[in-house]
Amino acid sequence: MVPPVDLYLDYACPWSYLALIRLGETALRTGARISFRPIVLDEVLKKAEPPLPLQRDDIHPARQHYQSKDLDDWARYCGVALNCPETWPAPSETAARGALAADSQGRCAAYSKEIYLAYFSAGEDIADPGVLARAAARAGLDAEAFIQALAGNSPTETLEKNCMELLQRGGFGAPTMFVQDEMFFGHDRIPLVEFAIGQASDRRFVAPGNHSA
Could you list the pLDDT tens digit for every one of the 213 residues in the chain? 899 999 999 999 999 999 999 999 999 999 999 999 999 999 999 998 887 776 555 666 787 788 889 999 999 999 999 998 888 889 999 999 999 999 988 999 999 999 999 999 999 999 998 999 999 999 999 888 888 888 877 788 899 999 999 999 999 999 999 999 999 999 999 999 999 999 998 766 555 555 554
pLDDT at 49: 85
- Phi, then psi, of 53 in degrees rounded to 5: -60, 140
Q: Give the pLDDT confidence score for residue 122 in this predicted structure.
A: 94
pLDDT of residue 89: 87
pTM score: 0.90
In a domain, 182, yes or no: yes
As a whole number of angstroms, the distance between CA 17 and CA 11 comes to 8
> Could you tell me which of 112, 89, 91 has the C-alpha nearest to residue 101?
112
Q: What are phi and psi of 142, to 5 degrees?
A: -75, 115
Domain membership flag for residue 187 = yes
- With a CB cutoff of 8 Å and minimum separation 6, the contacts of 59 are 67
Residue 113 lies in a domain: yes
Identify how many contiguous H helices and E strands the chain contains and give both numbers: 9, 4
Whether 153 is covered by a domain: the verdict is: yes
Domain enclosing residue 139, as ranges = 5-200
Is residue 141 situated within a structural domain? Answer: yes
| CATH number of domain containing 41 | 3.40.30.10
Residue 207 lies inside a defined structural domain of this protein:
no
pLDDT at 149: 83
| Neighbour order of strands in the sheet with 182-185 | 34-38, 5-9, 176-179, 182-185
Look at the chain and report how many structural domains it folds into.
1
